[in-house]
Structure 1
């Protein structure tokens, strides 16, 4: 594992491995980098899988509370609400998260608006 591996940061966020998440963030990995194969951010992944401590760590290191997952258009706030992460809903709102409906990537792609 190389220092600053964004793909491993995503994997650690998905698995809830807080030590590995901190390692990569401290090495300078951008917490907002979206996995190009999964089209999801580490923050949304951690919220979907119930890793609150990882989500808080990502937010503390600059994760954008408004950045959507390209796959389904899910914001971190929507993910927290959908998957019952009530403790994180308030944290996200305090960090500036708002509801902004947007169609999922595949709908935008089919309609030709995916570049917008």
Structure 2
């Protein structure tokens, strides 16, 4: 890491502070690094915090769209699916990430009851 502070950049990514993230990226902080104390990537952390603008900037700046985040047990596309960022999920697919399979809505006993028309 040269010229920047990875932890500060990571925190800024989660907080949605795009200007501070840009500063650290321009200073040479490795956006594909997962610090041993965090075990998370800035991209996945930003996505899980629903910071789409920061996530897009990181991707445009060279963040690996396939790099998993060990702590979060998720890749960027899995994180996007998890928090409901469908547009970002589509953008990741356009970047060459393998799409996730469609998951049907799980029906519990209550939704099955109402779908039968018994109520």
Normalization by structure 1: what TM-score?
Answer: 0.79
Unmatched segments (≥5 aa) in structure 2: 101-119
Q: What residue ranges of structure 1 are gaps of 5+ in the alignment?
A: 101-116
Task: Please list every run of at least 4 consecutive aligned residues from structure 1 whose deviation after the TM superposition is greater than 2 angstroms.
Answer: none
How many positions carry a matched residue from both structures?
99
The separation in 1 between residues aligned to 2:75 and 2:99, in whole angstroms, is 8
- Contact kept, 8 Å, 2:93 with 2:99, in 1: the verdict is no
Distance in 1, Cα, partners of 2:19 & 2:13: 10
1:70 aligns to what? 70
Residues 10 and 35 of structure 1 are in contact (CA less than 8 Å); yes or no, is this contact kept in structure 2? Answer: no
Cα drift, residue 92 of structure 1: 0.8
Q: Cα deviations across residues 32-51 of structure 1 (Å, max 9, x unaligned)?
A: 01132121100000000110
Structure 2 counterpart of 1:109: none
Cα offset, 1:79, TM superposition: 0.2
1:13 aligns to 2:49 (yes or no)? no
Measure, in 2, the Cα distance between the counterparts of 1:67 and 1:99.
15
Give the deviation of 1:99 after TM superposition: 5.7
User: RMSD of the alignment, in Å?
Assistant: 1.7
What's the counterpart of residue 38 of structure 1? 38
Alignment of 1:44-83 (within 5 A): 44-83=44-83
Scaled by the length of structure 2, the TM-score of the pair is: 0.77
CA deviations over 1:90-110 (Å, ceiling 9, x no partner): 11111122269xxxxxxxxxx
